[in-house]
Amino acid sequence: MGGKITAVQVEEGARVKKGDMLVQLDTEDLNQQVDQAQAGLTASQAKLADTEAGTRSQDLQAASAMVEQAKAAVNQAQAGVSSAKATYDLVSKGYNHAKNFYDQGDVTKDDLDKITLDYEKAKAGYDAAVSQQSGANAQLSAAVAKLSLAKEGATANTLEQLKADVSAKQASLNLAQNAVKNAGVIAPIDGVIVKKSVNVGEMAQAGAPLLTVVSMDQVKVEVSVPEGMVNAIKQGAKGTVTVPSIPGKTFEGTITFVSPVSDTNNNTFPVKLTVSNPDGALHAGAVASVAFGGSSSESRLEIPKAAIVQKDGKATVYKLSGDTVHPVDIQTDEKNQDWVYLKGDAALKPNDKVVLNPGDKLTDGAKVHAE
């Protein structure tokens, strides 16, 4: 979630424990939402409890009183209708006579207008009385229904609705409380803060990283192992790790993964080890070498098959020294159709040059021109 940052408890390089508070976001609005949700839940729980306990006697008395009041209002409205009806009938009769006399010329226009006005008032009064009677009857029906419900108690459907309302209010409270909890960012693991991306007063954007914490108590080392060695490497076995930036020190690692599939780019197999690093000497991204059973995963030399000839039953290459060549017997492990790995203590070192396609006529000490 996003929000204004009110506190950042750590700096880069700080060691933290799982559960430590790292960043605090503003929770004023969130706390108000919690209070509102709690109040809503309390009210719903109280309403359910009252309903389950049954209607109190004073509620019955109040409902009965409302029925009596509604009955009185109906009687009063009925009397009003009767009175208005009598007035309307009388005025209506006079109005009809006046119209007839007016048509015969026995009543003036002013007299007819006055009688017409009285008629319209009487009709409006009667209509209003009828409407008031309808309203009084409706209020009486509602009061009777409320009294009946009070006498019978809450129905099962009513209780289910109230319970559902309590559950909904509880869910709202849980959401509000979780929002407050999530406003505090805690350390998910033991580790070291390697990057701080925010400061107090800034706005944290939802999904944006605030801090980066890494665990260096154990590190993972990944190496590429030649095809000729991979079958000898087993998960759970040990390997010796050396790092050029830490001369004279070795680390013991445990093999956790041996890939069954080779990297098609170089025909090697990824192998992963876990190495204990309690003092933090090993750093992420450092270059490392791993020896399995005394052989380093980075120490094997490769040589093209085109440089090898068979001489006296042995695999031989011609090593270039200056402008002369000397035969060197070698032992190999297969890599692919074009290259092999050297094994044993071959008299070849990295960056040595050998002759490609030497043929059968090349001899020890022969001079050649290197291209």
The predicted model gives 100-113 an average pLDDT of: 86
- CB neighbourhood size of 89 (10 A): 12
Overall fold of domain 216-296: Elongation Factor Tu (Ef-tu); domain 3 (2.40.30)
The predicted model gives 344-351 an average pLDDT of: 70
CATH level 2 (architecture), domain 1-26+183-212: Beta Barrel (2.40)
Check: pTM over 0.85? Answer yes or no: no
Dump pLDDT digits (tens) for 12-21.
Answer: 888 888 888 8
Domain boundaries, the chain: 1-26+183-212, 55-153, 216-296, 301-371
Q: What is the pLDDT of residue 90?
A: 92
Dump pLDDT digits (tens) for 238-296.
Answer: 988 888 888 888 899 999 999 999 888 778 899 999 999 888 888 888 888 888 864 44
Region of poorest pLDDT, from 137-151, 230-244, 334-348: 334-348
The beta strands (E) that lie in the chain are given as 3-8, 15-16, 21-25, 184-186, 191-196, 203-204, 211-214, 218-226, 238-242, 250-258, 268-276, 289-292, 295-296, 302-304, 309-311, 314-321, 324-334, 339-343
Residues of the chain above pLDDT 90, percent: 18
Dump pLDDT digits (tens) for 115-149.
Answer: 999 988 998 999 999 989 988 898 988 888 888 77
Q: How many residues does the chain have?
A: 371
User: What is the Cβ-side half-sphere exposure of residue 301, based on CA atoms within 13 angstroms?
Assistant: 18
Token pair in block for residue 213: 């914490």
Q: What is the pLDDT of residue 260?
A: 92
Whether 57 shows a pLDDT value over 70: the answer reads no
Overall fold of domain 301-371: 2.40.420
Collapse the DSSP code of 190 into the 3-class scheme (helix H, G, I; strand E, B; otherwise coil) and give the result: coil
